[in-house]
Amino acid sequence: MNSVILTGRLTRDPQIRYASQSQMAVANFTLAVDRNKTKEGQDRDADFPDVVAFGKTAEILEKYAAKGSLIGVAGRLQTRTYEKDGRKVYVTEVVAERVELLGKKPDAPQKPAPPPGFEDLTEDPFADPRAGFTEDDLPF
């Protein structure tokens, strides 16, 4: 049985290209997947598996996922080789058979904070105070 299930965050925007003959979309990306904590007080280590997705899945990733997006991937592990500059290169990657977007696409970078003592009058003082929070801001 060859089955892989991962949940992690994209380390960069997915790289999309199209196969020359079939024009099928191919997305390559790397996930940052946390390991379980081993000792109390230590930071978690992470693994960074390379993932490849094809067709409609690749197009959806291009449109809705960006660096930092939390996604789930189910697929299979695959190894392959190719020649580069006369040397054999070995590649191990996850071939995505199913991808789920687990959070919304990260927003564009926010404007810089005003200098200390500067009052920003452009924001609505009556706006909902919860509007800028995401699920990642919750302590549980």
Domain that holds residue 72: 4-108
Max distance between CA atoms of the chain, in angstroms, equals: 66
Residue 11 lies in a domain: yes
Asked whether 26 and 18 are in contact (CB, 8 A), the reply is yes
Residue 87: which CATH number? Answer: 2.40.50.140
Give dist(CA 64, CA 92) in Å, integer: 26
Residue 109 pLDDT: 54
Give dist(CA 98, CA 100) in Å, integer: 7
The three-class DSSP label of residue 57 is: helix
Residue 114 lies in a domain: no
Residue 20 pLDDT: 82
Residue 130 pLDDT: 54
Residue 96 pLDDT: 95
Per-residue confidence in pLDDT tens, the chain, 140 aa: 999 999 999 999 999 999 888 889 999 999 999 987 767 767 778 999 999 999 999 999 999 999 999 999 999 999 999 999 999 999 999 999 999 999 765 555 555 665 565 554 455 544 555 555 566 655 54
Residue 105 pLDDT: 54
Residue 35 pLDDT: 86
**Amino acid at residue number 40:** E
Residue 67 lies in a domain: yes
Residue 44 pLDDT: 74
Residue 119 lies in a domain: no
Residue 103 lies in a domain: yes
Residue 92 lies in a domain: yes
How many domains, in total, are found in the chain? 1
Residue 25 lies in a domain: yes
Residue 126 lies in a domain: no
**Amino acid at residue number 2:** N
